[in-house]
């Protein structure tokens, strides 16, 4: 997970009256919303692993319906409420056996509130502390249901893990403000990232964003590049694309440092030296690279995103460990409901 707040400072001047393609090869993105307007999206996420033989395994999939409703509007701001329904999560429902209605009830009862400026750029997430407490309650309910299974209790008992210990461990990672912001970065922030800016279709832009390696570790700043896809854009819509790459020389030490930290917290003093030496040996024989790609198509007439696509690829090579892990996200507009 990565922290949501981007360290990106807009350098675009001028009065941005409406979203449109300008005659000087620039485009600006503005919201044209009113109180009561609703945008309904279909969200899909898949994590897939490809091994050295080219065989594919779907490790995780999820989907839900997301609705964004404008619940307040002023001359200089909008307030939006985001709710989820029809939630499916393969890990919670299939792997852990938690009833689908429990997952849906938990999701639907934890709406997200945030404000934007008059152009639709996110300015603040509201009631963050309440959301963190809701996440803790969510996690507690999930574990309560999970530990009803005697086989689950037995498996965790064998490693000396009680439900209470597991909650303490997971909540320290998942139920924090940082985790809250980072989770929003996956499916909320990209939809509204470009609002309020004026972009030249001939230029490539870049900004610093905060990044955390897959699995955990320290948050670091990395550079992401983005540009307007001129060929895919027209007078009614604009398409933005992004790319971020991290070489193995930079990415592998991040993963290695996190692995060290994880082993140090779980192994005793006698086991730790051997485990660290084994990790050093493995990591010395492989390379791991990281790439992110995304594209978003925005309707210039309303400011609502039409579709958002995201691909994250982690590629490992060497020592018979060749593999590729791909995570894809698709967020597609299904319906716009205007307050007449």
Token readout for 9 is 């400072």
Query: Residue 37: is its pLDDT beyond 70?
Result: yes
**pLDDT the model gives residue 77:** 97
* DSSP calls for 139-203: HHHHHHHHTTSHHHHHHHHHTT--HHHHHHHHHHHHSSHHHHHHHHHHHTHHHHTTTT-EEETT-
* DSSP calls for 55-87: -EEEEEEEEEEEEEEEEEE-SSEEEEEEEEEEE
CATH T-level topology, domain 20-337:
Lipovitellin-phosvitin complex; beta-sheet shell regions (2.30.230)
Q: What is the pLDDT of residues 65-94, one digit of tens each?
A: 999 999 999 999 999 999 999 988 887 765
The residue that leads in pLDDT, 145 or 38, is 38
List residues bridging with 326 in a β-sheet: 48, 313
Spell out the residues 6+ positions from residue 229 whose beta carbon is closer than 8 angstroms to its own: 239, 240, 241, 295
Distance of alpha carbon 6 from alpha carbon 2, whole angstroms: 10
Spell out the residues 6+ positions from residue 271 whose beta carbon is closer than 8 angstroms to its own: none
Backbone φ and ψ for 253, nearest 5 degrees, come out as -60, -30
Q: What is the pLDDT of residues 107-117, one digit of tens each?
A: 666 789 999 99
**pLDDT the model gives residue 23:** 52
Domain ranges of the chain: 20-337
CB count in 10 Å sphere of residue 10: 12
Lowest pLDDT segment from 67-81, 160-174, 216-230, 287-301: 160-174
SS3 state of residue 47: strand
Lowest pLDDT segment from 195-204, 262-271, 284-293, 324-333: 262-271
Cα of 157 vs its chain's centroid, Å: 33
Query: Residue 64: is its pLDDT beyond 70?
Result: yes
Half-sphere exposure for 122 (CA within 13 Å, toward CB): 21
Token readout for 4 is 């949501």
| Banded pLDDT at 8 (limits 50, 70, 90) | very low
What CA–CA distances, in Å, run from 279 to 200, 218, 261, 340? 47, 18, 12, 62
Q: What percent helix, strand, coil does the chain show, rounded to 5?
A: 30, 40, 30
Backbone φ and ψ for 193, nearest 5 degrees, come out as -65, -35
Distance of alpha carbon 3 from alpha carbon 176, whole angstroms: 11
Check: pTM over 0.75? Answer yes or no.
yes
């Amino acid at each position: 997970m990565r922290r949501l707040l981007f360290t990106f400072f807009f350098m675009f001047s001028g009065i941005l009256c409406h979203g449109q393609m300008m005659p000087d090869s620039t485009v600006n993105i503005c919201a044209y919303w009113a109180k009561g307007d609703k945008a309904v999206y279909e969200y899909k996420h898949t994590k897939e692993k490809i091994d050295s033989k080219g065989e594919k395994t779907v490790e995780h999939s999820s989907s839900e319906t997301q609705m964004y409703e404008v619940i307040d509007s002023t001359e200089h701001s909008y307030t939006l409420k985001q709710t989820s329904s029809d939630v499916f999560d393969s890990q919670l429902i299939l792997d852990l056996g938690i009833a689908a209605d429990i997952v849906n009830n938990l999701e639907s009862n934890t709406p997200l509130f945030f404000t934007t400026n008059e152009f639709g750029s996110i300015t603040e997430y509201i009631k963050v502390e309440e959301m963190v407490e809701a996440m803790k309650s969510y996690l507690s309910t999930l574990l309560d249901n999970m530990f009803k299974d005697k086989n689950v209790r037995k498996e965790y008992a064998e490693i000396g893990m009680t439900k209470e210990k597991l909650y303490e461990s997971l909540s320290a990672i998942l139920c924090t403000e940082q985790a809250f912001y980072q989770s929003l970065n996956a499916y909320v922030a990209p939809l509204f990232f470009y609002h309020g800016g004026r972009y030249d279709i001939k230029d490539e832009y870049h900004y610093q964003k905060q990044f955390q390696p897959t699995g955990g570790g320290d948050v670091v700043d990395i550079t992401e590049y983005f540009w307007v896809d001129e060929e895919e854009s027209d007078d009614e819509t604009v398409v933005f694309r992004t790319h971020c790459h991290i070489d193995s020389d930079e990415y592998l030490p991040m993963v290695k440092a996190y692995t060290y930290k994880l082993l140090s917290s779980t192994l005793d003093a006698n086991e730790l030296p051997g485990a660290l030496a084994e990790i050093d040996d493995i990591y010395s024989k492989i390379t791991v690279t990281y790439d992110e790609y995304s594209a978003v198509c925005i309707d210039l007439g309303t400011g609502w995103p039409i579709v958002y696509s995201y691909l994250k690829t982690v590629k490992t090579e060497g020592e018979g460990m060749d593999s590729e892990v791909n995570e894809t996200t698709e967020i597609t507009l299904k319906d716009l409901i205007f307050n007449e």
